[in-house]
Structure 1
Amino acid sequence: MESGINLFRNLRINIFIYYFATVTGFLLLAYYFLNVLHVEDLYLFALVVVCVVILSGVFISKLAVDPLAEYVDDLQNLSKETLHELNLPISTITSTTQLLRKTTNDTKILKRIARIDTACQMLKERYNELDYLIKMQTNQALKEHFCVGELVQQRVAFLKKLYPQMSFNLSVNAMQIFGDKKGLSKVIDNIIDNGVKYSNTSKNINIEVKNNTITIKDYGLGMDEMELVRIFDKYYQSNKNMQGFGIGLNLVKRYCDKNNIELIFESTKNIGTTVELKFKEKQE
């Protein structure tokens, strides 16, 4: 973090110095041409000015972009190396818990193994998210054919382990699409996670896949009109005491806008919130 701050500080200083030197040099050049050499050919003067401007633009763009490109490249390499290193411990934990489960019938030990499995699945989720972000940054193709109903069932099965106190009521119809599966997984997780966080005393969340639409409904705290206006603002949280950074719904909105999905929020204070994801494009 400190190195990034220093990089941008030095970059600003270098650009300012170069810009100041360039403007000063240009003024001196203009003075020399007009007052010392007494050049009257304005076309020649204009040609010299254009050449100086082009050269200055090239140098200042290299000065600004090259350090940033190198910094981003280093971050991407670090992310890829971290991703590679994460794979080994996750695989080791998974294989070890499978062996332990086969060698014991003790209920307490099996419960502990189940908790380890859940933690390992959470690590896998972070692994997948990091892999997804790297592919997005490198503009790799992320779209594939998949069944939305099956994806929703998979996400709910995972979230049940994190929130065993919640009751997820599923109604799923077949819906095949060609799209960004990992991105949609993150969207579903974010919406359901918000429903759980703001569930208050209610333990029910209804999830339906029907007519090219995913509907997620909770019966929690709900929101008023003023909160609904701001829910997509980055870092906004209607309740500051809740865990999180206030970026989840901003990510959801950006994903939906990018993938031609209509995002509809309906909420009433102390009654609950309904979220609809309507896929605008014709589905298979």
Structure 2
Amino acid sequence: MNFKRLFFHLSNFVLIFFLLLLILFLNSFLTIRFDFLQNSIVFTLFLSLLGSILFLIFSKKILKSLLTSDESLKNSIKNTLHELNIPTSTIKINTQLLKKNISDEKTLQRVERIEKANESLFELYKNMEYEFQKVLENIDKEEFYLLESINKTLDKFEDIKKDTKIDLNLKDLSLYSDYKGFLIVLDNLISNAIKYNDKKNPYIKIELNENILSIFNKGEKIDAKNLMLVFDRFFQEDSSNIGHGIGLAVVKEYCDRNRVAININNIEDGVKISLNLKNIVKQA
């Protein structure tokens, strides 16, 4: 918010400065070319200064109104996001309780579909919260550690990864970037790796090799013609899967903003996504 105020004032002063320069130039030109009187120049400068002062007074009032509206919008968005979080948490708790007391297979499947839909809704909520934060607030960079971030993300998926075998081949790495954004990147990539894994023998491998973080999941490959489209908003290769389709777009935006190269490839019997972290590695 302070940045907007500063930018507004700087824009005003720059505009006034160039306006005064233009007036001085025109007066000098008219004096030399048409013998304008010195008094005319002084009077013109006086009017210019008076106009500039009035302009600053009115622009300050406009700025105050804009900042008030901006703050009101910011609070409304925060409140709305908070209200969205409450029902998703309630649904999660109640579906977990229901599953413990249901023996009928068909009813259990229906509850699990509700649970999956709620997980997608919660993921959408997190992405929306981050998107609004990027627009309305300054996102500060901070130091954090790769291994801790990955373990924190895996803990979130403890309930849904179930029988998925996960191999970690990592050394710890100190990073300096937008920490919350990085966690959202990991959330989306690991969530997709679990969701689109092989149903019979689910397997994920997460490894780090020379600052390149790779996440491999065993399962169906992505159609070659769609490899460049997966980062587009709302793209979804299989329409039968539940999902909102903006997760990888958020990942790509983070990577572009922080100069993290991202690649997705079909390899062997699955899909691998690689992130080159060299530009966010904390320098000693």
Aligning the two structures, in what range does the TM-score lie when normalised by the shorter sequence?
Answer: 0.5 to 0.7
**Alignment correspondent of 1:171:** 169
1:262 touches 1:280 (CA, 8 Å); kept in 2?
Answer: no
**Alignment correspondent of 2:39:** none
Measure the CA separation in 2 of the matches of 1:221 and 1:88.
35
**Alignment correspondent of 2:94:** none
Aligned residue type for 1:146: F
Measure the CA separation in 2 of the matches of 1:124 and 1:172.
29
Measure the CA separation in 2 of the matches of 1:159 and 1:252.
18
1:253 aligns with 2:252: yes
Question: SS of the counterpart of 2:228?
Answer: helix
Cα deviations across residues 128-158 of structure 1 (Å, max 9, x unaligned)? 6665444322232331100011101110121
- Counterpart of 1:145 (choices 132, 143, 146) is 143
- TM-superposed deviation, 1:241: 0.5
Question: SS of the counterpart of 1:237?
Answer: coil
TM-score under structure 2 normalisation? 0.58
Aligned residue type for 2:195: K
- TM-superposed deviation, 1:175: 0.4
Cα deviations across residues 229-275 of structure 1 (Å, max 9, x unaligned)? 2111211111001111211111111110110101011115x821011
**Alignment correspondent of 2:273:** 275
Matched-pair identity in %: 30
- Counterpart of 1:195 (choices 193, 196, 217) is 193
**Alignment correspondent of 1:161:** 159
1:219 touches 1:273 (CA, 8 Å); kept in 2?
Answer: yes
Measure the CA separation in 1 of the matches of 2:139 and 2:194.
32
Aligned residue type for 2:248: L
230-239 or 80-89: bigger deviation:
80-89
Gaps of at least 5 residues in structure 2 are: 1-64, 89-99, 102-118
250-259 or 166-175: bigger deviation:
166-175
Measure the CA separation in 2 of the matches of 1:76 and 1:137.
10
2:212 touches 2:278 (CA, 8 Å); kept in 1?
Answer: no
**Alignment correspondent of 1:238:** 237
TM-score under structure 1 normalisation? 0.58
Question: SS of the counterpart of 2:214?
Answer: strand
Query: Over aligned residues, Cα RMSD in angstroms?
Result: 4.6
Q: How many residues align?
A: 210
Question: SS of the counterpart of 1:209?
Answer: strand
1:149 touches 1:209 (CA, 8 Å); kept in 2?
Answer: no
**Alignment correspondent of 1:23:** none
Q: Go from structure 1 to structure 2 and tell me whether the alpha carbon gap of 1:219 and 1:145 turns closer, same or farther (over 3 Å shift).
A: same
1:229 aligns with 2:232: no
**Alignment correspondent of 1:205:** 204
2:127 touches 2:250 (CA, 8 Å); kept in 1?
Answer: no
1:219 aligns with 2:218: yes
**Alignment correspondent of 1:25:** none
Q: Go from structure 1 to structure 2 and tell me whether the alpha carbon gap of 1:227 and 1:68 turns closer, same or farther (over 3 Å shift).
A: farther
Measure the CA separation in 2 of the matches of 1:125 and 1:246.
10
Cα deviations across residues 102-150 of structure 1 (Å, max 9, x unaligned)? xxxxxx89xxxxxxxxxxxx89988866654443222323311000111
